[in-house]
Amino acid sequence: MFKVLVSDPISDLGIQQLVDAEDIIVDKKPGLSEDELVAIIGEYDALLVRSQTRVTARIMEAGKLLKVVGRAGVGVDNIDLDAATQRGIIVINAPDGNTITTCEHTFAMMMAVARHIPQAYMKTVNGVWDRKSFLGVELRNKVLGVLGMGRIGSEVAKRAKAFGMDILGYDPFMTEERAEKLGIKLASVEEIVRNADFMTVHTPLTPETHHMIGKDQFAVMKPGMRIVNCARGGIIDEIALVEAIDKGIVAGAAFDVFEVEPPAKDHPFLKHPKIIVTPHLGASTVEAQENVAIDVSEQVLHILRDEPFSNAVNMPPIPAGLQSKLQPYFILGEKLGSFISQMTDGAVQEIVVGYSGDLAEVDTQPLTRYVVKGILSHHLGTEQVNVVNSMHLAKERDVNIVVQKSHIAKDFTNLVTVSLRTKKEERTVAGTLLTGYGPRIVQIDNFPVDVTPEGNLILISHNDKPGIIGRVGTLLGTNDVNIATMQVGRQLEGGSAIMVLRVDKGTPKEVLEQLTNLTELNTAKEIKI
Ligand SMILES: NC(=O)c1ccc[n+]([C@@H]2O[C@H](COP(=O)([O-])OP(=O)(O)OC[C@H]3O[C@@H](n4cnc5c(N)ncnc54)[C@H](O)[C@@H]3O)[C@@H](O)[C@H]2O)c1
Ligand SMILES: O=C(O)CC[C@@H](O)C(=O)O
């Protein structure tokens, strides 16, 4: 007999298959505190949550029998994935069940902000018949900018076409071919900000998307824009948005999500006449709640019964023999993936992973998953991508993955080479494990280097001319960026060259821009590992 605890309000119909199962006992106890959960979780094999329960490391630790945590929804930001992985607890989610519902909520919000529905409602029910203050705008013939063209963003784009809107879409994984199929135009964030009448965000919250719409974007924004966020709080800088509305740049905003939820009582959105809000209701329909609960219950049943399952968002078990052989390479593979995705521009089309030397002899599939995880995590967020789903996510985005093996590894016993082909360019890094020293990057494009992939790095491509290293050092020094180590690689004297600097802290954007403007310097990119 297995025991399942449901600790958030989850659709009864959705979990009916668990209730009906002869080998399962279901207890519904919504609203427990962390301490209360810690006290009882020890007797349960599975925990089912929505977004309210924070499944912390303490709860996992106390869950001695816990095999699976099921999230009825997409985001797993309320679950400590590392703690789950460490304890061998499988975390699953239901990524598809609430797509349409959230897309429809986005439209409800877009139309409400276009026609001032909540504001007009408030006045009318308070006895004021005001037909002058609420002149709206049509959606027809307007430009809609969609940031994040995944499941929800793509559905929004499809429906916006029916409203007669022109759609500009931005997503690092969007290719011209897919954009053409969807009938949208690919654009950069800046093009969207400068040209859209409405803008809606549908990305995960990652270090890259955090405040992706902030002061700089509002400064160049098309006046009169209306903005919708039904994705995650923090993608749009809340304070900068209020300023932009007060300056007359933004005409109105509709938010379902907040940087801190629930927002404080004095949050500037809550009394602003041009901002409408809902309390994270994007996924709250009967249909979506049933869908996600059915999906997640089905997978929980499979896991408890030791049957094949899908939608795991953390680490799968790897056979013991292979685990010990490959384990040290997992870190190298993921770091190479992260490094190359940060140094390469454009939508990813192909990943080529080469294994040379001893590695050519073993089943490297788990290692490839780590490389792909490192690449995709940069764009999709570490919370969403893991070694279970990385290949699936790449396939979903039409990214071709090629694996090549060779018994010869030139100067190294083992070498992992990763090439990334995008619409714009093709780049390569190679790395090895040095006994006693750990992972090393030994090649960047055609340049031999010796770089420990760790911390804050700056990758510079320049022309090999006297004085350039000094100029870079002086510029960083004057901006209080301390260089810890430096590596320079070139092929020919006076030809193109690269520099890899390790610095003590993150490099501000302006400093990177100033670096790029130095004579004989082509590009300067920050890489964080
Ligand atoms: N309000 C709600 O109740 C609710 C409900 C469901 C989902 N969500 C949230 O909506 C968001 C989208 O969900 P989804 O199911 O469509 O996810 P998805 O993974 O299918 O799509 C996200 C897309 O964002 C893209 N992306 C990543 N970084 C980007 C960047 N810097 N710029 C542009 N695009 C970038 C990814 O390539 C991906 O295609 C998530 O944040 C999810 O948690 C909210
Ligand atoms: O459970 C909810 O209602 C939130 C759902 C949503 O934010 C998600 O990520 O799926």
- Mutation probe of ligand 2 site: the residue of 98, 258, 380 with most atoms within 8 A of C-beta: 98
Instruction: Say whether pLDDT at 308 is over 90.
Output: no
Looking at residue 383, its pLDDT comes to: 65
Kindly give the distance from the C-alpha atom of residue 9 to the centroid of ligand 2, in angstroms, as a whole number.
12
Instruction: Indicate the CATH number for domain 456-528.
Output: 3.30.70.260
Average pLDDT in the chain: 93
CB 353 within 8 A of CB 371: yes
Where exactly are the structural domains of the chain? 2-96+287-305, 98-277, 319-454, 456-528
* pLDDT the model gives residue 72: 96
Starting from the CA of residue 169, give the closest ligand: 1
For 489, the token pair is 């690689």
pLDDT one-digit tens code per residue, 199-249:
999 999 988 999 999 999 999 999 999 999 999 999 999 999 999 999 999
The whole-number pLDDT of residue 173 equals 87
Q: Which of 298-312, 330-344, 434-448 has the highest mean pLDDT?
A: 330-344
Lowest average pLDDT, out of 43-52, 196-205, 314-323, 427-436, goes to 314-323
Q: Which whole number is the average pLDDT over 96-120?
A: 97
Q: Do domains 2-96+287-305 and 98-277 have the same CATH topology?
A: yes
**CB neighbour list of residue 509: distance below 8 Å, 6 or more residues apart:** none
Query: Residue 185's pLDDT is what?
Result: 98
- The pLDDT value recorded for residue 65 is 95
The yes-or-no answer on residue 261 being catalytic is yes
Q: Is the pLDDT of residue 95 over 70?
A: yes
Per-residue model confidence (pLDDT) at position 178: 92
Measured CA to CA, the distance from residue 131 to residue 449 in angstroms comes to 69
Is there a contact between 64 and 87 (Cβ–Cβ < 8 Å)? no
106 C-alpha to center of ligand 2: Å?
Answer: 14
CATH number of the structural domain 2-96+287-305: 3.40.50.720
For residue 429, CA distances in Å to 417, 450, 525 come to: 6, 11, 15
291 lines ligand 1 (CB under 6 A): no
d(CA 451, CA 500): 8
Predicted local confidence at residue 472, as pLDDT: 93
| Cα–Cα distance for residue pair 421/439, rounded to 1 Å | 23
pLDDT at 311 over 90: no
* 363: confidence class by pLDDT, cuts 50, 70, 90: confident
Instruction: Quote the distance between the C-alpha of residue 367 and its chain's center.
Output: 21
Residue 521 pLDDT: 86
Answer yes or no: is the C-beta of 93 below 6 A from any ligand 2 atom.
Answer: no
Contact (CB, 8 A) for 159 and 175: no
- Average pLDDT score over residue span 461-474: 91
Which pLDDT band holds residue 136 (cuts at 50, 70, 90)? very high
Q: Which of 176, 180, 261, 361 is the catalytic position?
A: 261
Please report which confidence band the pLDDT of residue 103 belongs to, taking 50, 70 and 90 as the band edges.
Answer: very high
pLDDT at 361: 86
pLDDT at 34 over 70: yes
Cβ neighbours for 474, distance < 8 A, ≥ 6 positions apart: none
Write down the pLDDT at residue 222.
98
Say whether pLDDT at 315 is over 80. no
CATH of 98-277, one of 3.40.1710.10, 3.40.50.300, 3.40.50.720, 3.40.190.10: 3.40.50.720
Q: Ligand 1: does its nearest atom lie under 6 Å from the Cβ of 24?
A: no
Count CB atoms within 10 A of the CB of residue 374: 28
Contacts 24+ apart (CB under 8 A), 428-432: 428/340, 429/336, 429/339, 429/340, 429/343, 430/336, 430/354, 431/332, 431/335, 431/336, 432/332
User: Interior CA angle at 421 toward 494 and 432, to 5°?
Assistant: 70
Confidence of residue 320 (pLDDT cuts 50, 70, 90): low
**pLDDT per position as a tens digit, 364-406:** 988 998 999 999 998 888 766 877 778 878 988 999 999 999 8
Architecture of domain 319-454: 2-Layer Sandwich (3.30)
Instruction: Say which of 202, 280, 421, 440 is annotated catalytic.
Output: 280
Residue count of the chain, please give it. Answer: 529
* Ligand 2 geometric centre to CA of 342 (Å): 29
- The one catalytic residue in 105, 151, 178, 232 is 232
* Ligand 1 within 6 A of CB of 378: no
φ, ψ for residue 134 (rounded to 5)? -120, 45
- The percent of residues above 70 in pLDDT, for the chain, comes to 98
283 lines ligand 2 (CB under 6 A): yes
